[in-house]
Structure 1
Amino acid sequence: MGKAWSPPGAGRGPKTRWKAVFAAVVINVAVANGAWAAQRVALIVGVSKYDKVPSLANPAKDARLVQATLQKLGFQVKVLTDPNRAQLIEGLGDFEEAAKGSEAAVIYYAGHGAMIDGVNYLLPKDAVSTNKSALTGSAVESARLGQAMVGAKAVRLIILDACRNNPTATRSIGGNSRGLARESGPTSVAVVTLMAAGPGQVAQDGAAGAANSPFAIALTQGMTRPGITVGELPSYVQAEVERMTEGEQTPDLQGIWPNVHWSFDLNGPVKQASAAPTADLTKIKWEKDQVFWNTVKDSDDPADFKAYMEAQDRGEITGSFRKLASNRIRALEKLPAGSFQVASRSAQPGQDLVISARDAFARGDFAAAARDWTTAAQQGNGAAMYNLGVMSLTGKGAPKSAEAAAKWFKASADAGHSGGMVNWGLCRLNGFGTAKDEKAGFDWIQKAADRGSANAMGMLAEAYLRGRGVGQDPRQAAGWLQKAVDAGDGPSIAQLAELYERGQGVARDGRRAFNLYQRAAVAGDTDAMVRLGYAYEDGEAVAKDEVQAATWYQRAAEAGNSEGMSSLAVMLENGSGLPQDYARAAEYYRLAANAGDARGYLGLGSMTVRGAGVRANPAEAVRLFQAAADRGSALAMRNLGIMYETGQGVRADRKKAIDYYRKALAAGDQEARGELERLGAVS
């Protein structure tokens, strides 16, 4: 067509908040030797007894736990216990053959690990650590595990439990005394690696006398959750390990899932051919998750958050906010006696009805929820009043009415419910369903914040940032955001990160901002996941790591974030840090477009006009570019100019081409100026 197309990657969205016998080293092998022809295969390696480095207590126990779990999940499992280097290499070679054509391949390694010069090494029984050369020559590079499973189709998962703390010697021997590094070999994209602890961290063995480590417990519990998918597993494991270690350990994930909807559950749809219906089931679980969370997120009762976590344990919801729920439980239970939340947790009339109504609402039975909440509200239950307000606000279970929502929120606030105070305050601030009075609205939010509501603290910070009901004061905003974070409010973490990123109300600190975004992302904030992806892709606040960027984009995408979808699509289209894959890029662009993302429309249009990953269709490309332009994409406006100038998908029209070039320039696309100059149309 004679013209260069605008790269969709240039339009990032705005930052937002909200065979062989293994001899004596094989134990409890689940299948007969050589019988590897299976859809699910796993290799378990546990090294506890070493010849020349300190022995370890937990790897053998953890390996047995993981082995038993995978066998229950239908995996054909082989186990290497205390292998020497030759046995480990031979076992990996056999597993490589077994993994070819399998549906899922998993390798679990527990034992000593060492990071030397940026390379991770796994130590077999006969490893020697007298010096760097001896260690690297007697160990096995962790990248060898990835090479052994690239032949699997749907799932390629390495689990590195090789960075725990050892009381008698440093667990990571060699160049780094604090854990392992992220994988960087040629298979680091095609294979997903879940590490027991983040880069530079050491993993805990658990309390004295514990049967297994926190990581092994969380991992095996997660795998056996009904219907849990590989895409959901890391978030569960991270949240649980952080909870069990009180925030001292966070497992790390890297790599791109070929099929995020694959389920460990033998009773769930697991095959790639079933990806579409499985995706639908995942969407239903995600939607229920959002509903459940919205009914409890402003609660003052730890029981509500425990109920949320139990619903995930039953496989009813995705549990995207599990970390936030855990944070709120911890924060509420630490409050002193006599505080607002502790007082409000006393038995209230109608509390059983509130719980039954919440469960009904989560499963879509809005009539039953409305009935029970109404009865509880008549008995004076503030939580029921709050939820009736949510019903009137959303139109689910009650006619949609701003006035009715405001009335219920006021009643809830008067009854002492913090969520009611916050929402009634917002109604007054914005004149929603009631007379606008910013000062009164601010006072209600202040009242809830002063009495311990984490959400109110975050809202108070926003009021100071925007000057709503109070004078604009970024320093006060930063202070309240920090209080909200300390009280367990999830959204405030990313908001505080933005202040550090911009230097607003606090000294500018890119690294502090990155750490906060990371904390928010692990807690389930999808916008923070995208921001982490940008940070890894840009390499300013942290070392550039395009694989890690793609990892976070995919996690955000699978949690419904359209910016994560289009960001991953850009990397797949351009081959940035990932193997170029037009078909997957087009699919992620399509998902983003379906969610209303301008860059999704732009990217899919660009691929459609070129016939890359999809059938070429210039007319459809014009429609997609128009949809992106309608959503403010300057690049899409320039592409429409190209289409009208060259007559692709539309009748050639020089006047319209110039008009679109001018619109693109006005919207900030400076390359459109060159097009106008070429056409002699610069005004």
Structure 2
Amino acid sequence: MNWAGQFRARCLVMPGLGMMLFLASAAVAQASTDPFAERRMALIVGISDYANAPDLDNTNRDGRLISDTLYALNFEVSEHFDIGLDEFRALLERFAFEAETADVALVYFAGHGIEVGGRNFLVPADADAGSRQRVADTSVSLDDILQAVDKARQLRIVILDSCRNDPFADGGLKETLTVASAAARSSLAPPSPDRGTLVAYAAEAGKVALDGAGDNSPFALALAETLRMQDLEIGLAFRQVRDSVLKATSNAQEPHTYGSLSGKPYFLAGKSQEVNGLEANERRNAWGRLEVDQEEQLQVAARDGDSRALKGLAYMRLNPNEKRYDPARAAAFLEKAVEAGDPEAMFELARMYERGIGVEQDVEKALDLFRKSAADGFADAINDLGFLHYQGGLGIIRDPKKAIELFGEAADQRHPEAMFNYAALIDDGVVADKTADDAAEYLYRALRSGNEEVLGQLSDNPNMFKAATRRSLQRKLSERAFYSGSIDGQFGPQTQRGLRRAYGLSE
């Protein structure tokens, strides 16, 4: 088989370098602009009645308040109160699987939380209070929560209103959920082009989150009010939550957020929701739709060194159709974000240096930034470097072996096109120590990631893959109850339905 010919015919879009190895049909490539076409899922857990710890007054009411708020924002909400460890873990396992086809996955927990050995734990109703270690052993870790939202397609949010008085402390009433900024980043999965993760704490590390004198905590009240605000960008929403709680508590409590959101704007309410379904470049351009007061808030955040705000301000100035188009200033904003270590900013600035947009063209600097972004785990950069090594370019000598290695890295970062392309390479037999089952696994993951081009290719051109790979994919669909037909490699109506179900479409 002519590997190069097959490879070029079966690859999807190559982002960032202005080439397209697979031309999608208009119907497949067009993104939905229906603001409610996206799927939002939320898991709400409140623990008020503890078997071996002091009860909490407002946690369940807070959970119901947030549940009602999210339901009004078109979330599929699963709410649970005063549950034990086994039920909590089972809920997370089910939620993690369902959230793979969600655009947004959110977990909210209100209850006791503790830190043991540098790890954070959320305490269920039946936790063993024999010692702090026993409490940790019979609780759910923050890592478990992060894994439950990890594969959502666009946005992942974990909200912990669990920084209340620690009943397990050796002395005094002390909040023990602690996360330094760098530690938070190290515990999160590397961000991909289409997914971001935000972890919001009700109070700063080491501080107590107030339960409130009324029916709800100050944090829950501020969160419920702010999330409903029309046309408020999600990153700015959590900054407003912080300001509202500070005001309500006379500066006694300051919520904090950790982790990273992608550089694409996102809106939970209002007409601006339509941008959530736009193609990636149009999404970035949508920063220009922010109201003046929100742009001013971005400016404030940027002055504080917030890299996402810096990127938003840069993208506002990279749209040639906008009056504020100013690529030189955009490059300056991205430079500051690069200095802060943001890999997405490195990637975007690399593209500008590659093309000489807003900066003097400098191919060597572009390549250096691409490599730094890839080293920090940014999947778009890894995938682009793969194409550069496969084809040659930017001074890189053609090296198919290195290209395959990079495609594999991008695929393992769950980059949808890379997963599809890597599966094609495995299917062609050019990836050492990989089998048809491995190819099928990458195809399944690409399908679950929500990439319409992947669904289109598997539906319309399944025979581009060998029978062994097709059978393995059918087997994986069957194992996950998406398909109940024969494992024969024939993608008839039953397999087609299984593909759509795995993708997240109803029958």
**Structure 2: which amino acid aligns with 1:97?**
F
Structure 2 counterpart of 1:248, one-letter code: A
Gapped runs of 5+ residues in structure 2? Answer: 1-36, 192-196, 315-329, 372-380, 396-507
Q: In structure 2, what residue type is equivalent to 1:566?
A: E
Residues 131 and 214 of structure 1, relative CA distance in 2, 3 Å threshold: same
Q: Which residue of 2 aligns with 1:320?
A: 297
Q: 2:44 touches 2:67 (CA, 8 Å); kept in 1?
A: yes
User: What residue is the counterpart of 1:527 in the other structure?
Assistant: 303
**1:309-368 deviation line (CA, Å, top 9, x unaligned):** xxxxxxxx45618xxxxxxxxxxxxxxxxxxxxxxxxxxxxxxxxxxxxxxxxxxxxxxx
Q: Deviations over 1:386-419 (max 9, x none)?
A: xxxxxxxxxxxxxxxxxxxxxxxxxxxxxxxxxx
Q: Distance in 2 between matches of 1:119 and 1:75?
A: 30
How far 1:171 sits from its partner (Å)? 5.3
Q: Residue 239 of structure 1 is aligned with which of 230, 240, 243?
A: 243
Alignment of 1:58-73 (within 5 A): 58-73=58-73
Output the amino acid matched with 1:273: L
State the Cα deviation string for residues 273-321 of structure 1 (Å, max 9, x = none): 34444444432425x23xxxxxxxxxxxxxxxxxxxxxxxxxxx45618
Alignment match, 2:268: 264
What amino acid sits opposite 1:612 in the alignment? L
Report the CA distance between 1:188 and its aligned residue: 5.6
Q: 2: distance between equivalents of 1:55 and 1:153? A: 37
Identify if the C-alpha distance between structure 1 residues 279 and 82 changes in structure 2 by more than 3 Å, giving closer, same or farther.
Answer: same
Cα distance in 2 for partners of 1:193, 1:608 equals 28
Whether 1:604 and 2:377 are equivalent positions in the alignment is: no
Take 2:226 and 2:111, find their aligned partners in 1: how far apart are those partners? 21
Structure 1 residue 91 and structure 2 residue 91: aligned?
Answer: yes
In structure 1, the residue corresponding to 2:304 is in which secondary structure?
helix
Q: 1:565 and 2:334 equivalent?
A: yes
Report the CA distance between 1:129 and its aligned residue.
2.2
Q: How many Å apart are 1:197 and its aligned residue? A: 0.9
Cα distance, 1:61 vs structure 2 = 0.8
Taking the TM superposition and a 5 Å limit, the aligned residue runs for 1:392-403 are none
Matches within 5 A, 1:69-468: 69-165=69-165, 170=166, 173=169, 177-182=174-179, 183=184, 186-187=187-188, 189-190=190-191, 191-206=197-212, 208=213, 210-258=214-262, 260-265=264-269, 267=271, 268-285=273-290, 288-289=292-293, 317-318=294-295, 320=297
How far did residue 597 of structure 1 move?
7.5
How many angstroms apart in 1 are the aligned matches of 2:231 and 2:43?
23
- Return the alpha-carbon distance in structure 2 between the equivalents of residues 139 and 608 of structure 1: 41
Tell whether the 8 Å contact from 1:589 to 1:600 is kept in structure 2 after alignment: no
* Number of equivalences: 318
User: CA shift at 1:214, angstroms?
Assistant: 1.5
SS of the residue corresponding to residue 252 of structure 2 reads coil
Does structure 1 retain, via aligned residues, the 8 Å contact 2:107–2:157?
yes
Q: 1:181: Cα distance to partner?
A: 1.3
* Secondary structure of 1:87's aligned partner: helix
Kept in 2, the 8 Å contact 1:229–1:260? The answer is no
Q: Against the structure 1 CA distance between its residues 607 and 41, is the aligned structure 2 distance closer, same or farther, given a 3 Å change threshold?
A: same
Q: Residues 586 and 38 (structure 1 numbering): CA distance in 2 closer, same or farther, change over 3 Å?
A: closer
The whole-number CA distance in structure 1 between the counterparts of 2:265 and 2:235 is: 6
CA distance in 2: counterparts of 1:223 and 1:41, whole angstroms = 15
**Do 1:608 and 1:614's aligned partners in 2 also have CA atoms closer than 8 Å?**
no
> Are 1:52 and 2:52 counterparts?
yes
Deviation, structure 1 residue 272: 4.8
For 2:403, the equivalent position in structure 1 comes to none
From the two aligned structures, give the one with the greater strand fraction. Answer: 2
Distance 2:358 2:168 in 1: 47
Change (3 A) 1:525 1:270: closer
Q: Does the aligned pair in 2 maintain the 1:554–1:565 contact within 8 Å?
A: no
Question: Quick one: which amino acid aligns to residue 43 of structure 1?
Answer: L
Aligned with 2:288: secondary structure? helix
**CA pair 570-91 structure 1, distance change in 2 beyond 3 A:** same
Residue 585 of structure 1, CA deviation: 3.5
Greater RCO, 1 or 2 (C-alpha within 8 Å, sep 6+)? 2
CA contact (8 A) 1:40 1:75 kept: yes
User: CA separation of 1:608/1:45 partners in 2, compared to 1, >3 Å: closer, same or farther?
Assistant: closer
Q: Which residue of 1 aligns with 2:12?
A: none
> Measured at CA, do residues 240 and 571 of structure 1 come closer, stay the same or move farther in structure 2, by a change above 3 Å?
closer
- Using the size of structure 1 for normalisation, the TM-score is 0.42
Name the CA shift for 1:270/1:153 in 2 (closer, same or farther; >3 Å).
farther
* 2-structure distance, mates of 1:253, 1:569: 20
RMSD: 3.7
Structure 1 distance, partners of 2:235, 2:394, is: 35
- Between the aligned partners of 2:352 and 2:207, the Cα distance in structure 1 is 36
Offset at 1:153? 1.1
Deviation at 1:594, TM superposition (A): 9.6
| Aligned CA distance change for structure 1 residues 224 and 562 (closer, same or farther; 3 Å) | farther
Give 1:119 deviation, angstroms: 0.8
TM-score (norm 2): 0.55
Residue identity (%): 25
Q: How far apart are the structure 1 equivalents of 2:157 and 2:146?
A: 8
Distance in 2, matches of 1:173 and 1:598, equals 58
